[in-house]
A and B are shown apart, each in its own frame.
Chain A
Amino acid sequence: MSTDTTPAVDLAGVTRTFGELTAVAAMSWSLPRGQVLGLLGHNGAGKSTTLRLINGVLTATSGAVRVFGLDPLTHGPQVRRHTGVLLSDPAVDRRLTGRENLRFTGRLYGLEADEAAARIDELAISFHLDDRLDEHVERYSNGMRQRLALARVLLPNPSLLLLDEPTASLDPMAAHGVRQLVRDIADSRQRTVVIATHDLIEATELCDQVAVLQRGRVVAFGTPSALASRVSARALHLRISDTDRGNVSDVAVRFGYTIEPLDAGQVAVHGVAYDDVPALVRALVRSDISVYGINIDQPTLTDFYLALHRENPETSDVVAP
């Protein structure tokens, strides 16, 4: 198919429009094999459209998509033989049993019956479905359906996983279970994963790289820590005497910051530029404020994401078909 150095996914100036709506605009990024990329963004930012373009289910209006060096438009079946797609609503047929759904997938992907049967049993055990596998999916809970969908995706042993908000429709417990399964897959480094998610903590934990999308454009791309480090403002937690709160507020205002009273003896000074921290501490001490402790919050991907969206607020959530 291609050499090991060929990126798993390579997008070059990819645009996709639906009538007047531009769902993906001049998107370019490359993902090496074995890495996990998170696509972040509001509804309608272009995450699902991007996944569909990668898998060749949608065609790009312009630009080039390559998956393991192949064009999904001209080599769709070959590309899709190596990809597995998990949607937020599990695409398993409720009128079939779990085993029938998996067998069907095995046949679609050309697995030998014996090989498929062995893999089905193995996956059923891994995903705690073995005792319910011969029941109709209609009787499954949402979490079980999503686990079955994930088993279905993994059955042909795909090299590239495309996960579209895999925990979005699940209750917290079921979401936790699926998240753990995705985490195991990501940790094994045997597969390349592109995951569209709203969950920034999940993205921080799972992803090697994240791309933040706004109205179909990539507005930020990098590792979660690199993106977080771009946030200059952070919160400073001070442990002080309660009688000094007013004085802290006076000092903070001089620097242009606001304070938030926390538990007894604690305040948070928000939006502190990292370079201003020494000067702020000196000013507090000069004002005879007894500082018993200082804790500087490390900025997170969430801080970065929120800061980015404060700078460029989305005006609407127009969702592509």
Chain B
Amino acid sequence: MNRTAVLAIAGRDLRIVARSRAVLIPTIAVPMVLLLTPPLTLLAARTAPDSLVSALFPLLTRLPVEMFDRLPNEPARQAVVLLLVYVFAPLYLLVPVMVASVTAADSVVGERERGTLEGLLDSPTTDRELLIGKLLVPWGLATVVSALGAVAYGAVADLVLSQYGLPPSFPNVEWAVLVGWVAPAAAAIGLGLIVAAANRVKTFHEASQIIGIIVLPIVALVVAQAAGVVLFDAAVLALFGTVLWMVALLLLRVSARSFRRDRLLTRD
């Protein structure tokens, strides 16, 4: 493995991402808005509406006793804690998926669109080194931005909780598993999809629309948890993350087979 070449590709891609508004805005601004809007709305509302409280009743009934005991007594407060710690958690996965997909789309498909990919294909690197170099920045950036997003989310969430006279809930075990284990796996799935699509799409915008495939399942997870179908406690999250990693690695392994110079250039 030519690490110097891999790091050179990654370093250049990072520099390019940092200078591209078309990539930076969907990479950082959009996920942050998506992530922070729900807690900020709660913060602005000052009280949890009754409809919200009743909507979360099914989830409340599924909580293990030890978790239920940790919740405050008053229903509105219970709803706020449930929302901030559990219900919004799957929504957080949009951040790694979006960051990874958009930057990977720019790095692979965007590079071809800008006419600079062939210069890279002509370099003394293997297809594998090229792939790793190209995915390092999207994955690393997704992981870092997700972690920063979680910190920001936690800070706003604790502010909301204090508004309800509750003690801070962040950081907590559930979110630690989410940030450290599940989010990197979700990012890897985003990368796998982009690599798989690289030979089938022409433009960066076409490629970045791939995230639409993942958004729906994530929204479904939010609904499922709010409806009490599934509860993402730390153990379930760890298992969920493991499944995501397995899917991601399989996806990357399969899609890497099509990441060949010959195919990238001809898309045949």
Contact = CB atoms under 8 A, between A and B. Distances in A.
B262 A58 contact: yes
Interface residues of A, number: 36
A100 B268 contact: no
B126 interface: yes
B20 interface: yes
Given A87-B118, A93-B12, A321 B124 contact: no
B20 A95 contact: yes
B5 interface: yes
Nearest to A105: B123
A58 B124 contact: no
Contacts of A94: 114
Given A76-B126, A91-B119, A95-B16, A110 B4 contact: yes
Interface residues of B, number: 31
B118 A91 contact: yes
A29 B66 CA distance: 79
- Main secondary structure, interface of B, reads helix
B70 interface: no
Contact of A57 (B16, B115, B265): B265
A31 interface: no
A18 B266 contact: yes
Nearest to A73: B262
Contacts of B267: 321
Contacts of B117: 91
A83 interface: yes
Given A91-B116, A96-B15, A85 B122 contact: yes
A221 to B, nearest CB: 25
B5 A107 contact: yes
A208 interface: no
A57 B262 contact: yes
B266 A80 contact: no
Interface in A100-119: 100, 104-105, 107-110
Contact of B8 (A52, A76, A89, A104): A104
B9 A108 contact: yes
Contact of B15 (A80, A87, A100, A110): A100
B47 interface: no
A78 B124 CA distance: 7
Given A18-B266, A59-B262, A107-B8, A93 B116 contact: yes
Contacts of B118: 57, 85, 87, 91
B121 interface: yes
Contact of B123 (A52, A80, A96): A80
A92 interface: yes
Given A56-B261, A108-B5, A77 B126 contact: yes
B119 to A, nearest CB: 3
Interface string B229-268: 0000000000000000000000000000000011001111
B262 A77 contact: no
Contacts of B123: 80, 105, 108-109
Contacts of B7: 107
B125 interface: yes
B16 A93 contact: yes
A313 interface: no
Nearest to A106: B8
Nearest to B117: A91
For A57, A85, A321, the residue with the greatest tally of chain B CB atoms inside 10 Å of its CB is A57
13 contacts: A57-B261, A58-B266, A76-B126, A77-B126, A87-B118, A91-B118, A93-B16, A95-B20, A96-B16, A100-B15, A107-B8, A321-B266, A321-B267
Interface of B: 2, 4-5, 7-9, 11-12, 15-16, 19-20, 114-126, 261-262, 265-268
Given A57-B261, A85-B119, 6 more contacts: A19-B268, A57-B118, A76-B261, A107-B7, A107-B11, A108-B120
